[in-house]
Amino acid sequence: MQRDHIRQMVQERFRDSLAESNVTISAIPAPQLTALVNALADSIFTVMEGLEDEAAEMAPPPSPRFVGDPQDAPDQPSGPSRPEEILWHGRPFLTIGTRYELTTERLRVYRGILGNRIEEIELVRIKDTRVKQHMGERMLDVGDITVISADASTPDMLLSNVRDPIDVRELIRRAVMEEKNRRGLYYREDISGT
């Protein structure tokens, strides 16, 4: 069902692009043109699946992830000697060259296909998160997560086209709370207004 919806989106975008560029294709009958656009969409699916398989082969195996209540988590060593574990990793929907990774200590974004650029925020510096989805993204269950932090070099980090964005946001929130509790950091807000 997702393929049919995406195929329809590719057809609509193709028609819109033709209209915007004032190009008229009259030599190809409409059913054949539709078949051509569908073949283009299918080739996009094939390339993306191949890239996902290739990325999965290259990625390190994920550590077991815990999504429940932090108080129900299995006992883990506390303090700085605790090994860093991967809680979640993903890629933007229909995008290559970008990878996201949430660990027990930080949130990382890897960018690049041949080269590599890494941005990261320590979990203890994360102040808030926001999720934004427009109607088409809700239908595909993807969306953008904005991470707001106290990090001077990366005050905001955008995770775009994340699958299951609400679940991922909740996973980030729980990981932040658990890391702050482990380090003995507590939230305090001045509400005096002066």
Tell me what pLDDT residue 47 has: 67
Task: Cite the beta strand spans of the chain per DSSP E.
Answer: 86-90, 98-103, 106-111, 117-122, 126-132, 142-149, 156-163
What's the pTM value of the predicted model, to 2 decimals? Answer: 0.57
Q: What does the pLDDT read at residue 1?
A: 46
CA-CA-CA-CA torsion sign (37, 143, 62, 125): positive
112-159 confidence digits (pLDDT tens) = 887 789 999 999 999 999 999 988 888 889 999 999 999 888 889 999
Is the per-residue pLDDT at 15 higher than 80?
A: no
- Domains of the chain are 2-58 (no CATH), 84-183 (2.30.29.30)
pLDDT digits (tens, 9 = 90+) for 152-166: 888 899 999 999 999
Q: What is the mean pLDDT of residues 37-41?
A: 76
Higher pLDDT, 91 or 17: 91
